[in-house]
A and B are shown apart, each in its own frame.
Chain A
Amino acid sequence: MAAGLQVVFGVQKIFNLACGSFYALGAYVGVSAVGWYVGAGGPPALFIVPLALAGLAVGAVGIVVERGLLRFVYDRDETFQLLMTFAIVLMMEDAIRLTWGTAPRSTAGLYLAYGQVQLLGATAPVYNLIVIAASLAIALAIGWLLARTAFGRIIRATADNREMAEALGVDMRRVYAEVFTLGTALGTLGGALVIPTTAAMSEMGIELIVEAFAVVVIGGLGSMRGAFGGALVVGVLRAIAISVYPELEMLLIYLIVIAVLAARPRGLFGGAAA
């Protein structure tokens, strides 16, 4: 999810408040897809396939949002873009409630379909390892996409200097639509992949945005490496705070966000050209 946020911000300079909503959407669609898959008699061992496909497919909603709403505000102040994504947050919350109702949804026991392993003396579900591997793979794939392909070069050029890229004949409309969709798909895929370990709740979007925002700010806006660094920092801090002084858990994260923003607005991991 943080990765999706980074890609979109890096290129389009849009801070997407709605990324949490996309994440929630992915989670709900994931639950439905798996439910349908199991209902249709698919082997439980392969449930991750429909899950991931559904997560990616619903990323297509990104095209709709980008074409239908966001493209109108590219020329405006960034504030309007922020507000537009706030509007999307409001709409998505109700849209999810309309579609899936208010009760939390979960994928029953499939989480443990892959069994558990002993790791460093602790029990860990295999599914967690799969998700970690998948996120690393996605990160590498995006890194490769940005660094090595023609599409990546165009994206980076646009991020650096939009006018120049446009002058060189890059079709801005297309790049923006593609990038936003990619970002959305990363969010929905993240939501879908994580859902077997947890349950989908309609307010997920609003709750998660604040945390994702912390991750991104700590990591550095628009930096992919930063997203992962930031996620790591937040994750580790959380674990430490919970075992040392649980009262401070969330407060600590916000205070670090402020400290980072105040001292290094480009983030701990953001390079000079972030």
Chain B
Amino acid sequence: MTHDHSSRRQFLKLLGAGAGAAAASRLDAPAAGTQASGPVKIGVLTIRAGVAAPVGAAGLRATEWWAERVNNAGGILGRPIQLVVEEESNPKDTVERFRKLVLQDQVEVVLGGISTGVTLALGPVAEDLGTPWLSWDGTTQRGVEETMPNPKWAFKSVDNEVEAIVAGILTPKYFKGIKTVAGIGNDYSYGHDCWESYQAVLRRYVSDVKFVLELFPKLGVTDFTSHIAAIQQSKADLLMCSFWSGDATIIMKQAAAVGLFKTMKGVFTTAGGVHDSLKKEFTPEGLLLGYNTMYFDDPKGSALLKQFVREYKAKYNEYPPYECDHAFFNAESYKVAVEKAAGPAKKWPEKARVVKALEGLEIESLSGKRSWREDHVQMCNFYQGITTHKNAYDFVTIGPLEVVSTKQAMKPAGSKLFEWIAGWKV
């Protein structure tokens, strides 16, 4: 770049003013060694509108349940918890909300973040502002590739494609002799990534499997009549579907209306997120259904899970979905990390010591033991199984229940997904 001297001088002057401003404005930033009394402010980002609003609501409810529980037990190191809730919307506005939580409200930690488009933007902002950020459900992956392999402050959710990988592993076990597969997913990265991963895994188990149709309707579509007609025409043995919102219920209904699953097997990798809307009247038995990282009706579930499900049902008249577990794990692991970093002196630790304590930390969450991998990715179990009508509810549940760990189904730190799958011993 060339430019004349006057503009350079002008620019340097501006730069000086800018640096001065930055120095001045830093006065309002939180002091490095934090005050050790008064409430702990915890920032929460949650989606309130749009397709993912129910997911956001579930995460917030679990966080509030956790906060109440901890406060009743005396808070964290004796400090009561104060949640500061802001809305996750589009990336631009959410980045602004995140900055507000850190710079204005001066929270100790930010919890939340669901949509990948948003969390991709939040990651670098958390690093810049030097505040721990624990994401409920969002990663910093672009497609299936990590963009922030060695973050200091950002803690990320499980890789998006894991549930499709788990479903790919379980498909040959429950549906023998599958030769042709059709796929439908939402037209965005999650839908595409799930479909690619599912195909890669299934090919490893069934070498002559053919993928005969792929459909990607826009997220938020409420009529799948044309899609179902195309799926019927494909005459595939099995349909793989990665819908996770109201559209999972809708496609189930509209498929039942034309008897689709009378002739076809079905794999719904993520529909367990809206499990209590999958009524028995239109959801057949014998489908593979994924509940992500928490199954509310786990026969081996802990007393904590049972208590949570009971109180959630009493308060909201719904059965909790998996997002509750992500949110609970984030909040609870933060608390444990603070206590660990405080040491026997019980002195409130600096943020940098808290993030160190989080690395590799394992705690008891709603669904059982969950941990943070050293590179800040969640490790946990995935719950999938075959739908059944044999239960006390008006919606389907699963049995037998399969539990697959991320140790088996998530790519190890630093590896490439498809190379990793290609290297499996099957």
Touch between chains A and B, by CB atoms below 8 Å: yes
> A residues within 8 Å of B by Cβ?
93-94, 97, 101-104, 106, 108-109, 111-112, 116, 122-125, 127-128, 197-204, 207-208, 235, 238-239, 242-243, 246-247, 249-250
Chain A nearest CB, measured from B214 CB (Å): 7
Which of B49-57, B298-306, B373-381 faces chain A? B49-57
Please report the C-alpha to C-alpha distance between residue A94 and residue B51 in the assembled complex, in whole angstroms. Answer: 14
| Cross-chain contact B222 with A128 (CB below 8 angstroms) | no
| Cross-chain contact B254 with A198 (CB below 8 angstroms) | yes
Residue in B closest to A196 when the chains form the complex, CB atoms: B253
Q: A116-B258, A242-B227 are in contact. List 19 more A-B contacts (CB 8 A).
A: A97-B48, A106-B246, A108-B281, A108-B282, A111-B253, A111-B256, A111-B282, A112-B257, A112-B282, A122-B229, A123-B259, A124-B258, A197-B257, A198-B254, A199-B277, A201-B222, A207-B222, A238-B226, A247-B216
| Cross-chain contact A203 with B49 (CB below 8 angstroms) | yes
User: Given that A109-B282, A239-B226 are contacting pairs, would A202 and B49 also be in contact in the complex, using a CB cutoff of 8 Å?
Assistant: yes
| Cross-chain contact B57 with A103 (CB below 8 angstroms) | yes
| B81 part of interface (Cβ distance < 8 Å) | no
Enumerate 11 A-B pairs (CB-CB under 8 Å) in ascending A order: A97-B48, A103-B54, A112-B256, A128-B257, A198-B223, A198-B250, A199-B222, A199-B249, A199-B250, A201-B245, A243-B226
Task: Report A-chain residues with C-beta under 8 Å of the C-beta of B394.
Answer: 108
Please report the C-alpha to C-alpha distance between residue A87 and residue B258 in the assembled complex, in whole angstroms. Answer: 40
Please report the C-alpha to C-alpha distance between residue A121 and residue B223 in the assembled complex, in whole angstroms. Answer: 22
- Mark each residue of chain B from 277 to 310: 1 if its CB lies under 8 Å from any CB of chain A, else 0: 1011110000000000000000000000000000
Give the contacting residue for A198; candidates B217, B253, B281; CB below 8 A.
B253
| Cross-chain contact B226 with A242 (CB below 8 angstroms) | yes
- Mark each residue of chain B from 256 to 279: 1 if its CB lies under 8 Å from any CB of chain A, else 0: 111100000000000000100101
Task: Report A-chain residues with C-beta under 8 Å of the C-beta of B226.
Answer: 235, 238-239, 242-243
| Cross-chain contact B257 with A106 (CB below 8 angstroms) | no
Chain B nearest CB, measured from A194 CB (Å): 8
Residue in A closest to B51 when the chains form the complex, CB atoms: A203
Residue in A closest to B218 when the chains form the complex, CB atoms: A250
Residue in B closest to A103 when the chains form the complex, CB atoms: B54
Give the contacting residue for B258; candidates A109, A122, A201; CB below 8 A.
A122
Chain B nearest CB, measured from A248 CB (Å): 11
Give the contacting residue for A204; candidates B222, B230, B281; CB below 8 A.
B222
Please report the C-alpha to C-alpha distance between residue A197 and residue B57 in the assembled complex, in whole angstroms. Answer: 25
Give the contacting residue for B249; candidates A93, A106, A123, A238; CB below 8 A.
A106
Chain A nearest CB, measured from B294 CB (Å): 17
| Cross-chain contact B282 with A203 (CB below 8 angstroms) | no
Task: Report A-chain residues with C-beta under 8 Å of the C-beta of B215.
Answer: 242, 246
| Cross-chain contact A246 with B214 (CB below 8 angstroms) | yes
Please report the C-alpha to C-alpha distance between residue A249 and residue B227 in the assembled complex, in whole angstroms. Answer: 11
| Cross-chain contact B279 with A108 (CB below 8 angstroms) | yes
| Cross-chain contact B279 with A109 (CB below 8 angstroms) | yes
Task: Report B-chain residues with C-beta under 8 Å of the C-beta of A102.
Answer: 48-49, 53-54, 56-57
Chain B nearest CB, measured from A107 CB (Å): 9
| Cross-chain contact A207 with B220 (CB below 8 angstroms) | yes
- Listed residue (A106, A123, A197, A198) with the most chain B CB atoms within 10 angstroms of its CB: A198
Chain B nearest CB, measured from A113 CB (Å): 9
User: Given that A102-B54, A108-B279, A203-B50 are contacting pairs, would A239 and B229 also be in contact in the complex, using a CB cutoff of 8 Å?
Assistant: yes
| B207 part of interface (Cβ distance < 8 Å) | no
Give the contacting residue for B253; candidates A197, A208, A235, A247; CB below 8 A.
A197
| Cross-chain contact B274 with A104 (CB below 8 angstroms) | yes
Task: Report A-chain residues with C-beta under 8 Å of the C-beta of B277.
Answer: 103-104, 106, 199
Please report the C-alpha to C-alpha distance between residue A199 and residue B56 in the assembled complex, in whole angstroms. Answer: 19
Chain B nearest CB, measured from A187 CB (Å): 15
| Cross-chain contact A198 with B222 (CB below 8 angstroms) | yes
Chain A nearest CB, measured from B121 CB (Å): 21
| B318 part of interface (Cβ distance < 8 Å) | yes
Task: Report B-chain residues with C-beta under 8 Å of the C-beta of A203.
Answer: 49-51, 220
| Cross-chain contact A202 with B257 (CB below 8 angstroms) | no
| Cross-chain contact A201 with B318 (CB below 8 angstroms) | no
| B233 part of interface (Cβ distance < 8 Å) | yes
| Cross-chain contact B245 with A111 (CB below 8 angstroms) | no
| Cross-chain contact B258 with A123 (CB below 8 angstroms) | yes
